[in-house]
Structure 1
């Protein structure tokens, strides 16, 4: 059980550490990041309950709507809602790169609990594939979401709403593509690899841009 639990939580903690250590200009309080991570774990249960009810009651007759559109939208909305209501106005959210960290933290909190429950059901044999696909994809969706939250918070007033919309719309569309690929039985494996490469490229590009915004922010605050 200990090995299974360790295998379930290790990918999330590793990815969170990676994005945390990428921030070389400022250090975000670990307590605040842990709180964001815990919020992400808590939303797992209402999300899974709603998904279970919708699937059991056959709310949507089309499986694509249930498994792809609804599931993607529900998960990304709950993550977005946590950041918007709890974190966006937090005093520790004080530079553009913080959005990256908080987005990744909330997403990985959700992905970690989901991973634990999945491995308990299907065994440790799926741990590696879960680490490189669902867990990492959630982290990368969170990075993109957090990037636009950071842009929204520190942008001029006329751009705030635009970036706020992108903070939910962009990860939602990426999640739809991801779930759509997995729904292609038989040959999804040929599509998921290039998509994951693209997702990593996009997320790391956002990380680089967030660093540039951070430098500009610190310069404007006369801190460098």
Structure 2
């Protein structure tokens, strides 16, 4: 069991380290990031409970609505809600790249618990596919969510409400597309490969943009102190 848990945790830890180490300008407090990860992990249980109840009670007549749309919407909404309520106004959310880190942390908290439960149920042979698809997609969707929240918090324009909405809408839309591809019966791999390549390209582009915004913020702060 310890081996299974270790295998299930490893992808999330590796992905978080990847995004954390890309921030060379500042060091975000690890305690706050750990708390955000724990929030995401705790979030797994009520989300799975709601998914189970809705499925058992057959609230939705179509399995597509249940497995594709409802699952995508509820997962991204609650991750977004945690960030808005507990992190967005936090004193340690003090630069644009922090949004990326907090988005990744809450998403990987959820993805790690989900991965542990899945691998313990279906075996270690599923670990590689889980690492490159669900776990990495959660991390990249967290990047997008955090990027738009970081941009909203430090934007000097009056469009931060639209940006906060984008922080929810963009990951939700891409999550729906991911689930549509993954639940398709035939040839889903041929669609998933280009989708994941796009998701990595788009996510890393947002990481770069968040880093540039951080550099500009530090430059402005230096000018104000002079």
TM-score bracket, normalised by the shorter chain, equals over 0.9
Q: Superposition pairs for residues 22-101 of structure 1, below 5 Å?
A: 22-101=22-101
Aligned equivalents of 2:50, 2:185: Cα separation in 1: 25
Q: CA deviation at 1:4?
A: 0.6
User: Which residue is equivalent to 1:159?
Assistant: 159
In the alignment, what sits opposite 2:9? 9
TM superposition score normalised by structure 2: 0.97
How much has 1:186 moved relative to structure 2? Answer: 2.0
Is 1:214 equivalent to 2:205 in the alignment? no
Query: Residue 169 of structure 1 corresponds to which residue in structure 2?
Result: 169
Q: Which runs of 5+ in 2 are unaligned?
A: none
Measure, in 1, the Cα distance between the counterparts of 2:121 and 2:70: 23
Q: Distance in 2 between matches of 1:98 and 1:171?
A: 17
Asked whether 1:184 is paired with 2:198, we answer no
RMSD across aligned positions (CA): 1.0
4+ runs of 1 displaced by more than 3 Å? Answer: none
Q: TM-score under structure 1 normalisation?
A: 0.98
Name the CA distance, whole Å, in 2 between partners of 1:210 and 1:6: 31
3-state SS of 1:23 partner: coil
- SS of the counterpart of 1:43? helix
For 2:64 and 2:157, locate their aligned partners in 1 and report how far apart those are by CA, in whole Å: 38
**In 1: Cα distance, 2:221 partner to 2:62 partner:** 52
Deviates more, 1:150-159 or 1:43-52: 150-159
Aligned partners of 1:174 and 1:203: how far apart in 2? 11
1: CA distance, partners of 2:22 / 2:112: 21
Count of residues in correspondence between the two structures:
224
Deviation at 1:183, TM superposition (A): 1.6
- Alignment partner, residue 193 of structure 1: 193
State the distance in 1 between where 2:173 and 2:28 align.
29
Distance 1:147 1:183 in 2: 28
Q: Distance in 2 between matches of 1:167 and 1:149?
A: 6
CA drift of 1:193 comes to 0.5
After superposition, the C-alpha distances for 1:57-112 in whole angstroms (9 at most, x for unaligned) are 01000111111111000000010011000000111100000000000000000000
